[in-house]
Structure 1
Amino acid sequence: MIITVTLNPSLDRTIEVPDLVRGHVLRITGGHLHPGGKGVNVTRALLANRVPSRAVLPVGGQEGAQLVEMLGDDAVDAITVSIAGHTRTNIAVAEPDGTVTKLNEPGPVVSPAELEAVVSAALDAARPGDWIVLCGSLPQGADPDIYAQMVGRIRERGVRAAVDTSGPALARVVAAGPDLIKPNAEELAEAVGRPLPTRAAVVEAARELQEAGALRVLVSLGGAGAILVDEDGVQVGTSVALTPRSTVGAGDSFLAGYLSAESAGGASALATALSWGAAAVQLPGTQMPGPRDIDPAAARVLTDDELVGLMDAPLVGTD
Structure 2
Amino acid sequence: MKNQIYRVYEAIKLDPLASQQALADRLGMSRESVAGHIMQLTRQGYILGKGYLLAEQNTYVVIGGANVDINGHSSAVLTTHDSNPGTISQSPGGVGRNIAENLARLGEHVHLIASIGLDQRGNWLIEQTRASGVETHNILRHDTLPTGTYLAINNDSGQLQAAIADMRIIDTLDAQKLSSKQALLQSAYSIIIDANLSSDTIEWLARQSLSAQLVADAVSTAKAPRLRPILAKLTLLKVNQDEARAILDSNETDPNKLAKALLDAGVDEVLLSLGSQGVLFTSAEHSQQKICYPTVPVSDTGAGDALLAGYLSACQQNKSLDDSLSFALACAAMTLESAHANYPELTVQNVTQWIEKL
TM-score of the alignment, normalized to the shorter chain, above 0.5: yes
Q: Is the 8 A contact 2:115 2:169 kept in 1?
A: no
The answer on 1:236 being equivalent to 2:289 is: yes
Q: C-alpha distance in 2, partners of 1:204/1:296?
A: 30
The answer on 1:281 being equivalent to 2:336 is: yes
- Greater relative contact order, per chain length (Cα 8 Å cut-off, separation 6+): 1
Q: C-alpha distance in 2, partners of 1:103/1:246?
A: 13
Q: Is the 8 A contact 1:57 1:118 kept in 2?
A: no
- Offset at 1:235? 1.1
Decide whether aligned partners of structure 1 residues 95 and 122 sit closer, same or farther in structure 2, where only a CA change above 3 A counts: farther
Structure 1: which 5+ runs fail to align?
300-319
What secondary structure sits across from 2:165 in the alignment?
A: coil
The answer on 1:27 being equivalent to 2:59 is: no
Q: Corresponding residue for 1:169? A: 226
What secondary structure sits across from 2:175 in the alignment?
A: helix
User: Which of 300, 321, 331 pairs up with 1:266?
Assistant: 321
Which amino acid in structure 1 is aligned with residue 285 of structure 2?
Answer: D
Q: Is the 8 A contact 1:182 1:218 kept in 2?
A: yes
Q: Corresponding residue for 1:225? A: 278
Bigger shift: 207-216 or 126-135?
Answer: 126-135
What secondary structure sits across from 2:168 in the alignment?
A: coil
User: Which of 147, 154, 178 pairs up with 1:94?
Assistant: 154
Decide whether aligned partners of structure 1 residues 241 and 33 sit closer, same or farther in structure 2, where only a CA change above 3 A counts: farther
Task: Please show how residues 1-319 of structure 1 align to structure 2 within 5 Å.
Answer: 1-6=59-64, 8-19=65-76, 20-28=78-86, 30-62=87-119, 63-78=121-136, 79-83=138-142, 84-108=144-168, 114-120=173-179, 122-126=181-185, 130-138=189-197, 142=198, 144-153=199-208, 156-165=209-218, 166-175=223-232, 177-197=233-253, 201-263=254-316, 264=318, 265-288=320-343, 289-291=345-347, 292=350, 295-296=354-355
Q: C-alpha distance in 2, partners of 1:187/1:122?
A: 29
Q: C-alpha distance in 2, partners of 1:39/1:188?
A: 19
Q: C-alpha distance in 2, partners of 1:224/1:297?
A: 21
- Offset at 1:187? 0.3
- Offset at 1:66? 3.1
Mark the structure with the bigger radius of gyration.
2
Structure 2: which 5+ runs fail to align?
1-58
Decide whether aligned partners of structure 1 residues 298 and 255 sit closer, same or farther in structure 2, where only a CA change above 3 A counts: farther
What secondary structure sits across from 1:33 in the alignment?
A: strand
Q: Corresponding residue for 2:41? A: none
Q: CA RMSD in A?
A: 2.4
What secondary structure sits across from 1:3 in the alignment?
A: strand
Matched residues, percent identical?
20
TM-score (norm 2): 0.73
Decide whether aligned partners of structure 1 residues 190 and 125 sit closer, same or farther in structure 2, where only a CA change above 3 A counts: same
